[in-house]
């Protein structure tokens, strides 16, 4: 271990950094011994641990038993009755938090809107009444397809208040993907906005909703926020569409109450990519998810009452759910919500926002950090970043160079960095360092959070020796774990609980070092992580084969300095289809139109055939090597036709 200003002689991976005495003196968990004791309690006496640690949340009826585990199905906080929105809002109304800012919204053009906890509560109550008046009841599903505006958060909390599970669909998804998700969960109402502002352009969300819901019978109402102003005029379809604030004005104000639900009542469904087939509707429930996000936010971000906390994730992803909405609001934190792109109007925007709002905690993604590095050190240097005290990273492995840049140029060698590993499925952070408790290392996600038993194992479930690579598993259920895949219990069981005996399989590869710190290297299944966006190769492939020119397709990831992974697709064409550069462009465009622009392939390569085993399975690892331009070291003896490799290399 080195002191916090260590420089130079080590390669970045070997360095470690202790938190400064100033940070430790205020930290909630201020020593390794304190972490160790709490961790021990969390796994050995979980009842005592969770009782105390959730005592500030609002339960209408307390739980009678902590959990029930009938593999692979877990229940937590048995018998508890509550409503999540009361812990996020109502409970703050009787304390000084009432008049504290809950959301500081920064629009892309630069306006600021601040909502105190009292104001946010009022808006959520009003919109709850609006949704109830439109017929939304406990158990109904509501889809939310919006940009980064306060109403997106208000919509989520209003759904929670009714007990109507929301499914937020990232605004970058195309109509087809939106339709699949609305259809899969049978949403009754869709919340959207006329358009979102992104890099100075308008993203026409309402028009996409119109296309998506055309053929969907379950959708009864579309509620439209006029973000661009009434004059920008999105067309409201009579009988189906209603203006957001007209719906509020027309509502019965008595309908804004919180419905008390069982602790295992579904809170939301969030679709994510798996290694096969269509996206999975990851289902999270009420009490366990709230407990997990509440506790991790408090301890991982070491929340203090005067913090101004900024999580840059979009509400459409799990990070936006857990660390933009439920975790911070249940802790009474002040959250910055930024509407736009990091480089609008220029690459100084993030740093100006930090200076303007005196942000103290910043939680962002490695891909953003790498993009900033490319723009040079001058941008962060132009703004006053002295308010920052803690930095976080999430979504993909952070390379040590990016970690060091983040530390030096953003944190000014003063702020600890928490590298947090978790997934849509885990609901909350699973691996991290607690910033005041222990040293951090570039490229390591640290130790398990309370109640988490993580291990690196072989395919047979045997723990691998220290320092060796293996599969990352979680050995026991935890409160914020997914409960199932919506409508598909069998897929849930198969996907997560059958691969490795007796454990939840994460899909990630990892190793644990001599300090017990985890190093997560990334997915080892057919899931890609492109700029922190999780993309299933199967989804890309099925979009491609739906194109009339395509016979067969295989999608793989190629290491990329900026995006982590770039998306490369190999395509064989149907007979008589000319393999032109123009067709490559059209195929890339086709994927963007079918799934979303973030899934546009970086490279399309034509192939006469794809490398397959004799049983017809595409040999992806060979394609990965070809995409990366490296010599294949692996075994090719099972390859059906060796010529295929030579042809692919030539192309």
Question: Which residues make up the interface to ligand PRX (CB under 6 A)?
Answer: 272, 318-319, 394-397, 419-424, 445, 506-508, 520, 522-523, 529, 534
Nearer to ligand PRX, 39 or 323 (CB): 323
Q: How far is the CB of 598 from ligand PRX (least distance, A)?
A: 12
- Judge whether 457 and 463 are in contact, CB under 8 Å: yes
Quote the CA–CA distance of 79 and 260 in Å, as a whole number.
12
| Lookup result for tokens 């040590």 | 400
Q: Smaller CB distance to ligand PRX: residue 97 or 423? A: 423
φ and ψ of 381, to 5 deg: -70, -20
**From the CB of 397, what's the least distance to ligand PRX, in Å?**
4
Residue whose C-alpha is closest to residue 553's, from 638, 468, 620: 620
Give min distance, CB of 491 to ligand PRX, in A.
16
- Taking the CA atoms of the chain, what radius of gyration do you get in angstroms? 24
Whichever of 371 and 545 has its CB closer to ligand PRX, that residue is: 371
For residue 581, the 8-state DSSP code is H
Place of tokens 């996020």: 88
CB of 383 to ligand PRX, least distance (A): 26
> Which sign does the torsion angle of CA 295, 301, 307, 308 carry?
negative
What Cα–Cα distance (Å) separates residue 316 from each residue in 123, 305, 322, 381, 409? Answer: 21, 27, 11, 31, 29
- Distance, in Å, from the CA atom of 232 to the CA atom of 229, rounded to the nearest integer, reads 6
Cα–Cα dist 357/102, whole Å: 13
| CA–CA dist 343, 134 (Å, integer) | 39
Who contacts 459 (Cβ-Cβ below 8 Å, separation ≥6)? 471, 500
Of 92 and 523, CB closest to ligand PRX: 523
Q: Which is nearer to ligand PRX, 380 or 443 (CB)?
A: 443
CB of 570 to ligand PRX, least distance (A): 23
Least Å distance, CB 555 to ligand PRX, is: 17
Closest to ligand PRX by CB, 331 vs 506, is 506
Q: Which is nearer to ligand PRX, 135 or 559 (CB)?
A: 559
Dihedral angle over CA of 417, 443, 522, 311, nearest 10: 10
Compute the least distance from the CB of residue 422 to ligand PRX, in Å. 5
Complex with ligand PRX: residue 289 or 347, whichever CB lies closer = 289
User: Which CB atom, from 147 or from 395, has the smaller least distance to ligand PRX?
Assistant: 395
* Structure token digits, residue 46: 């979980």
- Cβ 288 to ligand PRX shortest distance, Å: 17
Tell me how crowded residue 2 is: count the other CB atoms within 10 A of its CB: 15
Measured CA to CA, the distance from residue 434 to residue 432 in angstroms comes to: 6
Cβ proximity to ligand PRX: between 75 and 534 the closer is: 534
Which residue, 348 or 395, has its beta carbon nearer to ligand PRX?
395
Quote the CA–CA distance of 122 and 69 in Å, as a whole number. 39
Cβ closest to ligand PRX, residue 421 vs residue 449: 421
CA of residue 586 relative to chain centroid, distance? 30
Is the dihedral angle over the CA atoms 130, 132, 135, 137 positive or is it negative?
Answer: positive
Beta pairing partners, 508: 523
The nearest distance, CB 476 to ligand PRX, in angstroms, is: 18
Nearest distance, CB of residue 160 and ligand PRX, angstroms: 20
The residue number with the shortest CB distance to ligand PRX is 424
CB-based contact 255:133 (threshold 8 Å):
yes
- Strand pairing class (73-78; 308-311): unpaired
Smallest distance from ligand PRX to CB 509, Å: 9
Exposure letters 473-485 (e unless 16+ CB within 10 A, then b): bbbbbbbbbbbbb
Find the shortest distance in angstroms from Cβ 359 to ligand PRX. 20
The reply to whether omega before 526 is within 30° of 0 (cis) is: no
């Amino acid at each position: 271990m080195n002191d916090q200003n260590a420089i130079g002689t080590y390669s970045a991976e070997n360095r470690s950094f202790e938190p400064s005495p100033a940070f430790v003196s205020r930290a909630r968990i201020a020593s390794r011994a304190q972490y160790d004791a709490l961790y021990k309690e969390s796994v050995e006496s979980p009842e005592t641990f969770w009782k105390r640690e959730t005592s500030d949340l609002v339960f209408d009826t307390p739980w009678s038993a902590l959990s029930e585990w009938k593999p692979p199905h877990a229940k937590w906080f048995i018998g508890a009755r509550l409503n999540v929105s009361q812990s996020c809002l109502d409970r703050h109304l009787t304390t000084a938090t009432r008049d504290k800012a809950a959301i500081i919204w920064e629009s892309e053009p630069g306006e600021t809107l601040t909502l105190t906890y009292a104001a946010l509560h009022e808006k959520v109550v009003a919109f709850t009444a609006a949704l109830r008046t439109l017929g939304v009841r406990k158990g109904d599903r509501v889809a939310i397809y919006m940009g980064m505006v306060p109403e997106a958060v208000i919509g989520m909390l209003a759904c929670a208040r009714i007990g109507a599970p929301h499914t937020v669909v990232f605004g970058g998804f195309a109509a087809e993907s939106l339709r699949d998700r609305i259809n899969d969960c049978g949403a009754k109402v869709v919340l959207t906005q006329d358009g979102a502002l992104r890099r100075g352009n308008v993203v026409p969300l309402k028009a996409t909703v119109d296309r998506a819901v055309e053929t969907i019978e379950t959708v009864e109402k579309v509620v439209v926020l006029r973000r661009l102003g009434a004059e920008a005029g999105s067309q409201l379809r009579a009988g189906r569409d209603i203006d957001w604030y007209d719906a509020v004005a027309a509502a019965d104000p008595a309908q804004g109450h919180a419905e008390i639900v069982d602790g295992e009542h579904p809170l939301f469904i969030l679709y994510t990519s798996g290694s096969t087939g269509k996206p999975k509707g990851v289902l999270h429930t009420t009490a366990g998810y709230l407990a997990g996000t509440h506790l991790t936010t408090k301890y991982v971000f070491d929340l203090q009452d005067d913090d101004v906390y900024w999580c840059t994730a979009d509400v459409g992803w799990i990070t936006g759910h857990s660390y933009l909405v439920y975790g911070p609001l249940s802790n009474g934190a002040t959250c910055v919500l930024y509407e736009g792109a990091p480089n609008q109007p220029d690459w100084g925007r993030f740093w100006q926002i930090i200076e303007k709002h005196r942000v103290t905690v910043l939680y962002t993604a490695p891909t953003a950090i790498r993009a900033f590095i490319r723009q040079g050190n001058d941008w962060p240097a132009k703004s006053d970043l002295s308010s920052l005290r803690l930095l976080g990273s999430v979504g993909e492995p952070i390379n040590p160079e990016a970690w060091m840049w983040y530390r030096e140029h953003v944190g000014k060698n003063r702020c600890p960095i928490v590298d947090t590993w978790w997934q849509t499925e885990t609901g909350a952070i699973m691996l991290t360092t607690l910033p005041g408790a222990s040293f951090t290392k570039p490229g390591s996600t640290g130790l398990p959070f309370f109640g988490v038993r993580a291990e690196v194992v072989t395919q047979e479930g045997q723990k691998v020796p220290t320092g060796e690579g293996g599969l990352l598993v979680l050995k026991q259920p935890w409160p914020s774990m997914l409960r199932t895949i919506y409508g598909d219990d069998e897929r849930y069981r198969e996907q997560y609980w059958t691969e490795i005996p007796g454990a939840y399989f994460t899909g990630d590869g990892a190793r644990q070092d001599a300090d017990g710190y985890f190093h997560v290297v990334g997915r080892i299944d057919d899931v890609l992580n492109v700029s922190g966006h999780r993309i299933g190769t199967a989804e890309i492939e099925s979009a491609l084969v739906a194109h009339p020119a395509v016979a067969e397709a295989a999608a793989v990831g190629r290491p990329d300095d900026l995006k982590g992974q770039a998306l490369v697709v190999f395509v064989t064409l149907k007979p008589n289809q000319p393999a032109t550069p123009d067709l490559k462009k059209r195929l890339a465009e086709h994927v963007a139109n079918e799934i979303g622009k973030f899934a546009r392939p970086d490279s399309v390569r034509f192939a006469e055939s794809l490398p397959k085993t004799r049983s017809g399975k595409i040999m992806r690892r060979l394609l990965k090597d070809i995409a990366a331009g490296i010599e294949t070291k692996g075994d090719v003896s099972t390859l059906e036709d060796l010529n295929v490799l030579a042809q692919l290399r030539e192309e």
